[in-house]
Amino acid sequence: MFNSLDSLSGVARIKVIGVGGAGNNAVNRMIEAGIQSASYVAVNTDKQILLLSKAENKIQIGSALTKGLGAGAEPEVGRAAAEESKEVLTEAVKDTDLLFITAGMGGGTGTGAAPVIAKIARDLKILTIAIVTEPFSFEGKKRMDNTAKGLENLKKYVDTLIIIPNDKITCVVPKNTPMVEALRVADEILKQGIRGIADLIVNPALINLD
Q: Is residue 3 part of a domain?
A: no
Give the CATH number of the domain where residue 179 resides. Answer: 3.40.50.1440
Classify each residue of 60-87 as buried b or exposed e, where b means 16 or more C-beta atoms within 10 Å of its C-beta.
Answer: bbbeebbeeebbebbbebbbbbbebbee
Q: Is residue 1 part of a domain?
A: no
Q: Is residue 51 part of a domain?
A: yes
The answer, yes or no, to whether residue 154 has pLDDT greater than 60, is: yes
Domain count, the chain: 1
pLDDT score, position 91: 98
Q: Is residue 140 part of a domain?
A: yes
Percentage of the chain surpassing pLDDT 70?
90
Mean pLDDT across the stretch 10-21?
89
pLDDT score, position 208: 46
Burial (CB count <10 Å: 0-12, 13-18, 19+), residue 111: buried
Q: Is residue 187 part of a domain?
A: yes
Mean pLDDT across the stretch 149-156?
97
Candidates 40, 45, 38, 73; CA nearest to 60 is: 45
pLDDT score, position 31: 93
Mean pLDDT across the stretch 132-149?
94
pLDDT score, position 206: 46
Which band of pLDDT confidence, cut at 50, 70 and 90, is reported for residue 35?
confident
Which band of pLDDT confidence, cut at 50, 70 and 90, is reported for residue 8?
low
Check if the beta carbon of residue 17 is closer than 8 Å to that of residue 102.
Answer: yes
Quick one: angle between helices 86-93 and 75-84, nearest 10? 80
Q: What tens digit of pLDDT does each residue of 63-121 get? A: 999 999 999 999 999 999 999 999 999 999 999 999 999 999 999 999 999 999 999 99
Q: Is residue 2 part of a domain?
A: no
pLDDT score, position 202: 66
Q: Is residue 5 part of a domain?
A: no
Residues forming beta bridges with residue 17, ordered by sequence position: 41, 101
What is the C-alpha to C-alpha distance for residues 14 and 36, in angstroms, rounded to an integer? 10
pLDDT score, position 141: 95
pLDDT score, position 203: 65
Q: Is residue 28 part of a domain?
A: yes
The answer, yes or no, to whether residue 209 has pLDDT greater than 70, is: no
Domain assignment of residue 22, given as a range: 10-207
* 145-149 long-range contacts, CB within 8 A, separation 24+: 146/73, 146/75, 146/105, 146/106, 146/107, 146/111, 147/105, 147/106, 147/111, 149/75, 149/111
Higher pLDDT: 195 or 41? It is: 41
Q: Which of 23-32, 55-64, 132-141, 170-179 has the lowest mean pLDDT?
A: 170-179
The answer, yes or no, to whether residue 177 has pLDDT greater than 50, is: yes
